Chain A
Amino acid sequence: MTDTIVQIQALTKIFEGKQRVTALDGIDLEVRQGEIFGLLGPNGAGKTTTIGICTTRTLPSSGNVKIAGIDVVGHPAQARRLIGVVPQFNTLDRSLTIFENLYFHCRYFGFSHSLSKTRSEELLEQFLLAERAKAYPAQLSGGLAQRVQIARAIAHRPTVLFLDEPSAGLDPQSRIAMWTAVQGLRKEGITVVLTTHYMEEADELSDRVAVVDHGKLLALGTPQALKDTYGAQTVIHLKLRNLGGSEAVAEEMRQLPGVQNAELTGEGLRVFAANVDGLLPAIIQTSARLGLRDISITEPSLETVFIHLTGRDLRE
């Protein structure tokens, strides 16, 4: 037995119609037990289609997806017991209160009346929603509705939770609250798969990230590994009092182990390094001769990796 929860093999999806659209063009992925997995890509990359197939809402053209060993096309009803879904849009039942949204979700999954009641109350507490139990979805802000959706999605204790663009349309406070909620799920042992095009979100939340575009997998790894592999560098800006002789210093910098390049700027030097660990003292020492007056460091970001992999073209 492996600890793979979601196994995606050679997945393709072609939407037939007036315009034939290849949404997925052979994706292979494995999501491990307990990890937070980010699916990163521009609009139209195939993220939502991938989630749609994993959650039994979209049928693949070929390939297969297994959730804890269960084929989602062959046994969708069984697979649904193992998955929770937070869709891109607010799909809360408008005819029911917040409490009832949770309560009936439990009933759909076969919980008894008392068990459903206890579980719903527990979730209202956990997601700080107890005060709004009797409110209707239409009365909630986007951030609150999103929390209710997450609570509802995990109510039946799924093994894996899929979040499709969880922070789209949320204000920064709600986004941070949502992140905290997602990180909290890890403690409960729930595996999380989320799609996003916010680099910051993928970087902050995910243990591993897959970058997809045009229905293909472009890169896969931990955020750090992706940054290392795809040439994302730490940039160290040095401001110097005395610019005379800075070219000699730049040349000296280039010789330092770990430094990939150093160039002159109007105010001093810009040093590109793969890793700053242990490098900083040497840089400071070398540049001190020219009167170092300021130093600032820009950490590598997934954004650079993302643009490197997917290009700068605008998407629909």
Chain B
Amino acid sequence: MSNLTQSTGRTQIQKPQFFRAFYGLFLRDLRVLSRELAPFVLRVGMQPLLFLFVFTFIMPRMSGGNPMAAGAGPAFGTVLLPGLMAVAIMFSGIAGVALPLSTEFGITREIDDRVMCPVPVWAVALEKVCFSAVQSIISALIVIPMAILIPAKPVYPDFHNWALLILVLVMSSLLAGAMGLAIGSTVNPKQIGLVFSIVVVPITFLGCVYYPWSGLSKIHWLQIAVLFNPIVYISEGLRAAVTPSVEHMPIWAILLALTIFLVVLGRFGVRGFLKRVIS
């Protein structure tokens, strides 16, 4: 086989080669996930389950003397549903990308064989983000039946704008994956636990998950500060798509912010990934 025929043959099959390799990587992740299906469901379901149970089932049944119970009133379920979906998306993104990457980059260097795929290295990172996005979407959807079944007063999501729901779900899930990539490829594997405590937990708690952003109007400095938190736009976006009756940010602002964070974190994550695998 001469060099000439090799190279012409190569340009012809280059495109399918890219998608086939990408598909192969996706299948590999699917196989690994299929082995851990039960732990996966438990991992993504436990937190929203307990949250809904405590705040929308137990609390409303408590006597009026409990100061917490007033805050967690019957409408709280409606505020909580999109927030819990946002948390589920976020945690899936971190658990789906950052945690596996920290071991694969660690002592075993298991990522090597995938990096040696006949595709540009950024495509390997992109596949990780896309696969985690699928997990995030499943995690978010698992929350919906729980919100209908668990609260004392059932919460019925109002799916009147399907296009917006799909758009926000997909963008948020990709954003969560990009954040996982950024964390997984820049943080020292030994410190990944610490990152959970000092980054992931604070941005979740301050991500307008348990209250709408407009509710912060009396704490103005915080209302401005949280605008730098990507979770806010995931929560608000889902609020606009799932429970439009609750006050939320304008849709254009949400979509714009999601796009900006996706581009910034995506770039940062891919760059970190390339730095980790190419010296």
Contact = CB atoms under 8 A, between A and B. Distances in A.
Interface of A: 1, 15, 52, 55-59, 68-70, 76-78, 80-81, 85, 87, 89-96, 100-101, 104-105, 107-110, 152
Nearest to A91: B112
A44 to B, nearest CB: 15
Given A87-B112, A107-B23, A108-B113, 19 more contacts: A1-B3, A52-B279, A55-B116, A56-B278, A57-B279, A58-B279, A70-B7, A76-B120, A77-B117, A80-B116, A89-B108, A91-B110, A94-B110, A96-B32, A108-B24, A108-B25, A109-B21, A110-B17, A110-B24
Contacts, number: 95
A81 B9 CA distance: 13
Q: 10 closest A-B pairs (Cβ-Cβ)?
A: A107-B24, A110-B20, A69-B3, A91-B112, A108-B24, A108-B117, A104-B28, A81-B118, A95-B32, A91-B109
Residue with the greatest number of chain B CB neighbours at <10 A, chosen from A70, A87, A96, A108? A108
Given A69-B3, A152-B113, A108 B10 contact: no
Given A68-B3, A69-B3, A91-B112, A110 B118 contact: yes
A110 B109 contact: no
Interface in B3-22: 3, 6-7, 10, 13-14, 16-17, 20-21
A96 B27 CA distance: 12
Contacts of A89: 108-109
Contacts of B16: 110
Contact of B277 (A15, A57, A69, A90): A57
9 contacts: A55-B116, A56-B116, A57-B115, A57-B277, A70-B7, A76-B120, A81-B17, A93-B110, A95-B35
Nearest to A93: B110
Contacts of B2: 1
A246 to B, nearest CB: 60
B206 to A, nearest CB: 34
A95 B110 CA distance: 9
B108 A90 contact: yes
B31 interface: yes
Contacts of B279: 15, 52, 57-59
Contacts of B21: 108-110
Interface residues of B, number: 35
A109 B120 contact: no
B195 interface: no
Contacts of B25: 108
Contact of A77 (B7, B31, B108, B120): B120
A93 B113 contact: yes
A80 B117 contact: yes
A134 to B, nearest CB: 13
Residue with the greatest number of chain A CB neighbours at <10 A, chosen from B6, B23, B116? B116
A96 B116 contact: no
A89 B107 CA distance: 9
Residue with the greatest number of chain B CB neighbours at <10 A, chosen from A80, A87, A92, A110? A110
A70 B14 CA distance: 15
Interface string B23-53: 1110110011001000000000000000000
A257 B25 CA distance: 66
B257 interface: no
A65 to B, nearest CB: 14
B11 to A, nearest CB: 9
Interface in B76-114: 108-110, 112-114
B69 interface: no
A107 B112 CA distance: 15
Given A57-B277, A69-B3, A107-B27, A77 B109 contact: no
B119 interface: yes
Contacts of B120: 76-77
Nearest to B11: A78
Contact of A78 (B24, B32, B118, B278): B118
Contact of B278 (A57, A87, A94): A57
A77 B110 CA distance: 19
A91 B255 CA distance: 41
B109 A87 contact: yes
A77 B113 contact: no
A266 B113 CA distance: 59
A84 B6 CA distance: 17
Given A59-B278, A107-B23, A77 B119 contact: yes
A1 B46 CA distance: 64
B24 A104 contact: yes
Contacts of B117: 77, 80, 108-109
A80 B108 contact: no
A108 B114 contact: yes
Nearest to A84: B116
Nearest to B13: A110
Given A109-B21, A110-B17, A91 B6 contact: no
Given A87-B109, A90-B108, A104 B27 contact: yes
A293 to B, nearest CB: 58
Contacts of B32: 95-96
Contact of A58 (B10, B23, B278): B278
B278 A92 contact: no
Contacts of A107: 20, 23-24, 27-28
Contacts of B113: 91-93, 101, 105, 108, 152
Contacts of A100: 28, 31
